[in-house]
Structure 1
Amino acid sequence: MDGWVIWFIAAGVLLVIEMFTLTFYLLWLGIGALVAAVVGLLFPDSLVIQIIAGAVASLLLTIYTKPLTRKFRSGRGYRDAIDELVGKEGIIVDPVVIGRTGIVKVGNETWSATADEPLQAGETVTVIHRGTTVLEVRKKGG
C-alpha cells in the first residue's frame, strides 16, 4: 500500500475522533496528516519529508490558531453555551455530601455537583457556579 493512502486513512480517523472530542488538537493533527498525504503523492519515496511536512503543518496550526480562538471567544456577543448553566434549575440525582461530589440533572444533561450543604436525591437546586466539569449548586430558595 502506498504511503499517501496510509496518511489519508490516518487523517480520516483523526478527523472522526475529533468530531467526538471537539478539542481542535486532533483536527490539526488530521490536517497535518492530510498535508503529509499530499506530500506523499508528490514525493512518494521520501517518508522523512512527509513526516516533517505533516508535523510542521500541525505545529503551525496549533500555534497560530490558539490566539485566534482566544480572540473569538473574547469577542463581543460570544457566549459559551455551558456558561448559560449558571442560574438554571436542576434536580439532584445522586446525593451531594460535603466534601464529595454528587450528580445533578440540568435540562437533559447530568453533571457532577458540589454544594455547601448536604443535598438529597430529588431536591431542586439552582446552579450558582460552573467549574471545568463540576457545577456548584444551592438548594432552591436557599
Structure 2
Amino acid sequence: MDWWAIWLIVGGVLIILEMLTLTFYLLWLGIGAVVAAVVALLPAAPDNFVLQALSGGLVALLLTVYTKPLTRKFRQSQGFKDAIDDMVGKPGIVLEDIVDGAPGIVKVGSETWSAISKHMLHKEEKVRVISRGTTVLEVQKWED
C-alpha cells in the first residue's frame, strides 16, 4: 500500500475520533496526516517517509499552537457552557469506597467517574459533586 493511502486512512480515523471527543487536538493531527498524504503524492517525495511525517507533524503543531487562543476565546464566550460543568451540584452514588488520599468511583447520572473527598465515603452512600478536575470529581456526603 502506498504511503499517501496510509496517511489518508490515519487522517480519516483521527477526524472521526475527533467527532466523538470534540477536543480539536485529534482534528489537528488528522489534518496533519492529510497534509502528509498530499506530500506523499508529490513527485519529489513519494518514498520519503521522514519528509511526510515532518510536514504533517509541523502542520499539526502549528495548528495546535496558533488556534489555542481561538479555542480559549470560544470557551470563554458568553453562552458557552461545558456540559461537564453542569455536574457540579448533582447527586451521585459511591460505587467504590473513597478514602483520604485515594480516589474511589462514583456514579453521577449515567456516568461513572473517579472521585475524591475530604472525608471517608462508603459504597452506596449518596454524594453531591462540589467541583471537578479534568478527570476526577470532588464530592461530599449528601446532606438534605
Pair 122,49 (structure 1): closer, same or farther in 2 beyond 3 Å: closer
Matches of 2:19 and 2:79 in 1, distance apart?
A: 25
Pair 119,50 (structure 1): closer, same or farther in 2 beyond 3 Å: closer
How many residues of Structure 1 are paired with residues of Structure 2 in the alignment? 141
Q: Structure 2: 5+ residue runs without aligned partners?
A: none
Residue 32 (structure 1) aligns with = 32
Q: Does 1:120 align with 2:119?
A: no
Residue 76 (structure 2) aligns with = 74
Per-residue deviation, 1:105: 0.7
Is contact 1:4–1:44 with CA below 8 Å preserved after alignment?
no
Is contact 1:103–1:111 with CA below 8 Å preserved after alignment?
yes
Residue 139 (structure 2) aligns with = 137
Matches of 1:86 and 1:19 in 2, distance apart?
A: 25
Pair 77,23 (structure 1): closer, same or farther in 2 beyond 3 Å: closer
Task: Give percent identity, aligned residues only.
Answer: 60
Q: Alignment partner of 1:76: what SS?
A: coil
Matches of 1:130 and 1:3 in 2, distance apart?
A: 43
Q: Alignment partner of 1:118: what SS?
A: coil
Q: Alignment partner of 1:113: what SS?
A: strand
- Cα-Cα RMSD: 2.2
Residue 94 (structure 1) aligns with = 96
Matches of 2:110 and 2:40 in 1, distance apart?
A: 46
Pair 141,54 (structure 1): closer, same or farther in 2 beyond 3 Å: same
Q: 1:95-133: per-residue Cα shift (whole Å, max 9, x none)?
A: 122222211110001111222222121111111111222
Matches of 1:111 and 1:2 in 2, distance apart?
A: 42
Q: Does 1:60 align with 2:62?
A: yes
Q: Alignment partner of 2:26: what SS?
A: helix
Range 62-71 or range 110-119, more displaced = 110-119
Q: Alignment partner of 1:96: what SS?
A: coil
Q: Structure 1: 5+ residue runs without aligned partners?
A: none
What amino acid maps onto 2:92 in structure 1?
G
Matches of 1:54 and 1:113 in 2, distance apart?
A: 38
Matches of 1:135 and 1:53 in 2, distance apart?
A: 39
